[in-house]
Amino acid sequence: MSPEVALNRISPELRPLLCSVVRNGRVGLDSTNCLRVTDLKTGCTSLTPGPCCDRFKLHIPYAGETLKWDIIFNARDPELPPDFIFGEDAEFLPEPSELPHLVQWDAGDPECLLQLVKELIQQYHQYQCQRLRESSRLLFEYDSLLEDPNYSRSMEIYAGHKNSWTGEFSARFLLKLPVDFSNIPVYLLKDTTLDPGEDVALLSVSFEDAEATQVFPKLYLSPSIEHALGGSSALHIPAFPSGGCLIDYVPQVCQLLTNKVQYVIQGYHKRREYIAAFLSHFGMGVVEYDAEGFTKLTLLLMWKDFCFLVHVDLPLYFPRDQPTLTFQSVYHFTNSGQLYSQVQKSYPYSPRWDGNEMAKRQETCKAVEPATIFGPALPRQIHFISI
Amino acid sequence: MSVCSKGSGGNMNTVYRAQYPTYSSEYKSINIRLMHLYKKYLSFHKSPVQKKNNRCYIRCYMRLCFNKMFQNKIRNSELFLKFLNLSSSRTSSSYLQYLDQNLNIDRSDPQGEAKHSRYHDEPNHHGEPHLQQQSRYTPQVIHPSLTEICHPLEGLILGETKAEERSNITDSQIDNIQFEHTINIQKHISCRKLNSFYNRIGEVNQDEIRHILSNYKEENVIGWYKQRRNTDQQITFREQVVHENLKRALSNHELIFLLLTPSEITTSGSTHKLEYAVFRSHGSQYCSVPVLVSNLGLLEEQDYWRLSASCSSVNYNHAVRKHRSKFFSSDGSLHEVDEINDMNNSLQGELKMACKKVEESERLVEKLLADVSDLRRMVNDRKQELGEISADGASTPAQPQENVLLCEVIKTLFPGASLLQTQALNFQGFPLPEFCCSTDHGIDIATTLPLILSHTLPKARKGRLGRGGGTSWRKRPLRESSEVPKRRKGMLEETEESLSVSGSETEEDLIPANQNGNDLDVSNSPVF
């Protein structure tokens, strides 16, 4: 159900409260999507003219799960605070006095419902942490993470129900990794078609049994970060070591991600340096270059009165990955009507060279390569263009 | 609603339409009236002879009424029906003004002139009233009672709790004790509005509870109930908090919570269902308690009412108390039961006496049978002895022979005494004269048994003997004592079969002859 449909069907007195939830409602660590509303129903009789819906199901992402809570208002008394049914968590009973927005319920405040939901989520988190006491191993994991200020406040835990048949108890930890994405170049982030939202990296670790013999980690990145790092296949996290614990594993993943981000940032700077060096060396020979991402550069060069284009493609993880040179003739066409070109990757290169050094080496290289590439193809009757 | 918390319960579907049979027909009627009114409005517009004021007034009035009706503002069904009657008669301004008072019409501008131009008598100057989706926009004025009932309700439940311990004996287990806890719901008190006895965080107001209960006692409160439309059959967060606080406030840890959830089954709203469940808390968990609606449905024939259904009605208790003494004694038991018990005791006493008598007679019979068996044994022994003696060939007569000597002697000595001459006695030991021997055996007693005649008394016996037959008594000499064993033998043979014949050995007969060599003094009594 889209937010607009939900807002159209809700009772007018309750509309502001729901509007705040469906449009701005982001709770928990996974704030990429807003809270979702379904199953709108009314507590009024069928004689009541609509819209008069006053109860609905709220879908809340939490620790990799989706909580489905029933929120029940009363359209006849909209000033009364709502009531809740916590789905399958029938034993979850928060302390009402610890819910300030319930005690001081203000039906006129559009944010009141959203704030109340956030407070309930906090108490729900406490409730789940309490349930970890059924397994000493998992409780140890939780306590050890709690001591680390980097993770203690950015952690969601969902303790599954104990299997009465097998006695197995499972739990899932969702941690927000404290990685700084602020230095990632903007151009990398804005290419996504999705609403980027907050740049966040979440590590989900599922313990399928209480003794931590089956542990499955997963890394979730916000769409912009995933795009910036080169897609979902660009980053592979290591498997959870047997006998290991979260307090050792999480920092390891965090460091890996941080290194990756650093690579990306460094790559950007390096590319910019490279382009700058080429601009200074080849000056008037520069046809065009990517002024945002510094990923492409096109030069028009001449060798023995023979002009050609050189396209330089700088990869994302430059200078670790070697740039690709594409030599293109300005005179010749292939049978398909395209300009004759050839890609060259085997040329002297070292990632440890700075931009100037690379430019100098390229200068030498470009003096030799055309003869190799275009030599056999050069017709004798073509006139050369001088730059 | 009377509910017993035992057995199994589930969902109960109710169809609202069945409860309010006139709903659909009245709705139809209202719709028809509205359409007539609308047509009337159109006819007013077409007719030039109608006064402008009235025509416009009615037009605006109708528009206003329709709008307010659809906005659910009209609460007075009577007023609305009066308005509908406008279509059937001419209106007067005074009547319309009266109606205006209840519809908050601006008296300074009843026709809404300020919103229109001066000449707003045209239909395009007014929004045409129209009935939108009829199934949804029916005004609530039709059934205000229905709307009140269908809104969320809550209240307190009164009743009583009973605990019963039942012992079942089965083939495998002799001692199987079951505890049955029954909660009888007898009455409910509904609150006028929601959140009446608790606040937004579930804290209970005990003063408000007492106010709701009014004349009822807090001890009679066994739970509370709530009705929620279109929600899951699950207790909510606030209801749990209220329940726990109510348990503490009423000091009743067995408090129950009855949840009623009516909901629509079909999208058209033609069918509704009502689900109900009773919850009771066990720590932090709420479990559903089986519900039995005892006044609906048929009782199973094999169910016996072990306890009578209690009733808290004052009038009922008064009537029962008035006539109780006719049926119950002071200790609470039925009069008939006491009488039956007394009769039972009497019967037991009579039975005991009869048993005692039977025992005594049985013992007597047993003793007699023992005597009989002894005698039989003696007879058999004697028989065996005689049989051994006469084993060389003497044929024992099958039939006992008559002691003819004895017979003749008795006839001689007691000629007229038939009782003495009889050979048979009845079971009481009385001689039977009809069995007398009338055969003349041809034995001369005087020669055969001279001693008998010699031992008889001289006069009296002679006189008697003279009368009786002529045989004279005389003393029997001792030498004739050898003949006694023969006579004894004959007598013994006679006594073999007939118990009525007894041995009649005299002392002399029993004394052996060698022991009595000398003359002994013999008695003067007759010797047979």
pLDDT digits (tens, 9 = 90+) for B233-266: 999 999 999 999 999 999 988 899 999 998 888 8
Residue type, A343: V
Of the candidate ranges A352-366, B186-200, B338-352, B353-367, the one whose mean pLDDT is the lowest = A352-366
Minimum-distance CB partner of B234 among A55, A85, A93: A85
Q: Could you tell me if A71 and A55 are in contact, meaning their C-beta atoms sit under 8 angstroms apart? A: yes
Indicate whether this model's pTM tops 0.80: no
Q: Return the higher-pLDDT residue of B112 and A3.
A: A3
pLDDT band, very low/low/confident/very high, at A77 (cuts 50, 70, 90): confident
Q: Helices in chain A by DSSP H: which ranges?
A: 3-9, 15-24, 100-103, 112-131, 136-147, 149-152, 186-189, 223-228, 246-282, 355-374
* CB-CB neighbors (< 8 A) of A49 in chain B: 70-72, 136-137
pLDDT for B106 equals 58
Q: Rounded CA gap, B447 and B87, in Å?
A: 157
Report which DSSP code applies to B198.
Answer: B
Identify from A9, A10, A40, A47 which residue to disrupt to test chain B contact, counting B C-beta atoms within 10 A and taking the largest count: A47
pLDDT band, very low/low/confident/very high, at A286 (cuts 50, 70, 90): confident
Q: Rounded CA gap, B512 and B528, in Å?
A: 17
A76 touching B (Cβ < 8 Å): yes
Backbone angles phi, psi at B388, to 5 degrees: -65, -40
Contact A43 B231 (CB under 8 A): yes
Residue A116 has pLDDT above 90, yes or no: yes
Rg (CA), chain B: 60
Provide the token pair at B85: 């009657």
Identify from A13, A45, A53, A124 which residue to disrupt to test chain B contact, counting B C-beta atoms within 10 A and taking the largest count: A45
For B220, other C-beta atoms within 10 Å of its C-beta total: 15
- Per the DSSP assignment, residues forming a β-bridge with B260 are B227, B276
Contact B136 A49 (CB under 8 A): yes
pLDDT band, very low/low/confident/very high, at B144 (cuts 50, 70, 90): very low
Contact A84 B269 (CB under 8 A): no
SS3 percent helix, strand, coil of chain B, rounded to 5, is: 45, 15, 40
Average pLDDT rounded to a whole number, residues B417-426: 80
> What is the average pLDDT value for chain A, to the nearest integer?
81
Residue B448 has pLDDT above 60, yes or no: yes
Average pLDDT rounded to a whole number, residues B19-30: 39
Residue type, A51: P
Identify from A46, A73, A127 which residue to disrupt to test chain B contact, counting B C-beta atoms within 10 A and taking the largest count: A46
Residues composing chain A: 387
Contact A83 B200 (CB under 8 A): no
Please state, for a pLDDT cut of 70, what percent of chain A lies above it. 87
pLDDT for A99 equals 93
Q: Return the higher-pLDDT residue of B324 and B84.
A: B324
Nearest-Cα distance to chain A for B140, in Å, is 6
Residue A327 has pLDDT above 90, yes or no: no
Contact B195 A80 (CB under 8 A): yes
Q: Rounded CA gap, A173 and B516, in Å?
A: 137
How confident is the model over B469-517, as pLDDT tens digits?
Answer: 444 444 444 444 444 444 444 444 444 444 444 444 454 444 444 444 4
Distances (CA, A) of B74 to B27, B113, B141, B278: 16, 23, 7, 37
For B44, other C-beta atoms within 10 Å of its C-beta total: 19
pLDDT for A343 equals 84
Contact A44 B264 (CB under 8 A): no
Contact A83 B239 (CB under 8 A): yes
How confident is the model over B374-400, as pLDDT tens digits?
Answer: 999 999 999 999 988 877 655 545 556
Nearest-Cα distance to chain A for B90, in Å, is 32
Minimum-distance CB partner of A41 among B140, B230, B234: B230
Residue B133 has pLDDT above 60, yes or no: no
pLDDT for A386 equals 30
pLDDT for B418 equals 76
Average pLDDT rounded to a whole number, residues A240-248: 87
Contact A42 B230 (CB under 8 A): yes
Distances (CA, A) of B29 to B19, B23, B146: 19, 10, 18
Minimum-distance CB partner of A83 among B71, B138, B238: B238
Contact A43 B229 (CB under 8 A): yes
Q: Return the higher-pLDDT residue of B69 and A358.
A: A358
Closest-CA residue of B relative to A106 is B200
Q: Could you tell me if B259 and B291 are in contact, meaning their C-beta atoms sit under 8 angstroms apart? A: no
Contact B194 A50 (CB under 8 A): no
Report which DSSP code applies to A209.
Answer: S
Provide the token pair at A265: 């940032």
Helix axes A355-374, A246-282, angle to 10 degrees: 70
Nearest-Cα distance to chain B for A67, in Å, is 15
Nearest-Cα distance to chain A for B234, in Å, is 7
Nearest-Cα distance to chain A for B206, in Å, is 19
* CB-CB neighbors (< 8 A) of B226 in chain A: none
Q: Rounded CA gap, A143 and A65, in Å?
A: 22
Contact B237 A94 (CB under 8 A): yes
DSSP letter for each residue of B117-154: -S---SGGGSPPP----TTT---GGG-HHHHHHHS-EE
* CB-CB neighbors (< 8 A) of A76 in chain B: 151-152
Residue B109 has pLDDT above 70, yes or no: no
Contact B232 A70 (CB under 8 A): yes
Provide the token pair at B78: 């009577």
Q: Could you tell me if A202 and A29 are in contact, meaning their C-beta atoms sit under 8 angstroms apart? A: yes
Rg (CA), chain A: 30
DSSP letter for each residue of B404-463: HHHHHHHHHH-TT-HHHHB--B-TTS-B-GGGB--------HHHH-TTTTBTS-TTHHHH
Of the candidate ranges A51-65, A184-198, B415-429, the one whose mean pLDDT is the lowest = A184-198
Q: Rounded CA gap, A178 and A106, in Å?
A: 36
- Per the DSSP assignment, residues forming a β-bridge with A219 are A203
Nearest-Cα distance to chain A for B55, in Å, is 30
Closest among A56, A53, A54 to A39, alpha carbons compared: A56
A48 touching B (Cβ < 8 Å): yes
Q: Rounded CA gap, A189 and A184, in Å?
A: 8
Report which DSSP code applies to A173.
Answer: E
SS3 percent helix, strand, coil of chain A, rounded to 5, is: 35, 25, 40
Nearest-Cα distance to chain A for B287, in Å, is 11
Residue B191 has pLDDT above 50, yes or no: yes
Binding-site residues on chain B for chain A (CB distance < 8 A): 70-72, 135-140, 142-143, 146-147, 150-152, 193-195, 200-202, 228-232, 234-241, 264, 269, 284-286
A70 touching B (Cβ < 8 Å): yes
Contact A45 B146 (CB under 8 A): yes
Backbone angles phi, psi at A334, to 5 degrees: -85, 175
Minimum-distance CB partner of A84 among B135, B229, B236: B236
User: Among A32-46, A252-266, B22-36, which range has the highest average pLDDT?
Assistant: A252-266
pLDDT band, very low/low/confident/very high, at B170 (cuts 50, 70, 90): confident
Model ipTM value: 0.77
Average pLDDT rounded to a whole number, residues A106-112: 91
Q: Rounded CA gap, B190 and B287, in Å?
A: 24
Q: Return the higher-pLDDT residue of B107 and A253.
A: A253
Minimum-distance CB partner of B231 among A47, A72, A94: A72
DSSP letter for each residue of B234-291: S--HHHHHHHHHHHHHHT-TT-EEEEEEEEESSTTS--EEEEEEEEEEETTEEEEEP-
Peptide bond between residue A110 and the one before it cis (omega within 30 degrees of 0)? no
Backbone angles phi, psi at A204, to 5 degrees: -110, 125
Residues composing chain B: 528
Contact B152 A70 (CB under 8 A): no
Closest-CA residue of B relative to A43 is B229
Contact A46 B264 (CB under 8 A): yes
Closest among A375, A372, A328 to A347, alpha carbons compared: A372
* CB-CB neighbors (< 8 A) of B70 in chain A: 49
pLDDT for A133 equals 84
Contact B232 A72 (CB under 8 A): no
User: Among A158-172, A250-264, A348-362, which range has the highest average pLDDT?
Assistant: A250-264
Minimum-distance CB partner of A45 among B150, B231, B286: B150
Nearest-Cα distance to chain A for B147, in Å, is 7
Residue B77 has pLDDT above 70, yes or no: no
Q: Rounded CA gap, A258 and A252, in Å?
A: 10
Q: Rounded CA gap, A153 and A148, in Å?
A: 9
Average pLDDT rounded to a whole number, residues A71-76: 90
Q: Could you tell me if B408 and B462 are in contact, meaning their C-beta atoms sit under 8 angstroms apart? A: no
Of the candidate ranges A127-136, A342-351, B142-151, B482-491, the one whose mean pLDDT is the lowest = B142-151
Distances (CA, A) of B268 to A46, B208, B260: 9, 40, 22
Q: Could you tell me if B35 and B25 are in contact, meaning their C-beta atoms sit under 8 angstroms apart? A: no
How confident is the model over B37-69, as pLDDT tens digits?
Answer: 555 555 544 444 444 444 455 555 555 555 555
A237 touching B (Cβ < 8 Å): no
Residue A125 has pLDDT above 50, yes or no: yes
pLDDT for B304 equals 60
pLDDT for A103 equals 92
pLDDT band, very low/low/confident/very high, at A168 (cuts 50, 70, 90): low
DSSP letter for each residue of B35-87: HHHHHHHHHHHH-TTS-HHHHHHHHHHHHHHHHHHHTT----HHHHHHHHGGG
pLDDT band, very low/low/confident/very high, at B313 (cuts 50, 70, 90): confident
Minimum-distance CB partner of B231 among A49, A55, A103: A55
Q: Could you tell me if A145 and A155 are in contact, meaning their C-beta atoms sit under 8 angstroms apart? A: yes
pLDDT for A374 equals 53
Q: Could you tell me if A105 and A81 are in contact, meaning their C-beta atoms sit under 8 angstroms apart? A: yes
pLDDT for B120 equals 44
Nearest-Cα distance to chain A for B7, in Å, is 25
Average pLDDT rounded to a whole number, residues A144-157: 87
A79 touching B (Cβ < 8 Å): no
Q: Rounded CA gap, B271 and B263, in Å?
A: 9
Residue A238: half-sphere exposure toward Cβ, Cα within 13 Å: 14
Q: Could you tell me if B171 and B163 are in contact, meaning their C-beta atoms sit under 8 angstroms apart? A: no
DSSP H or E stretch at residue B180 = strand B176-190
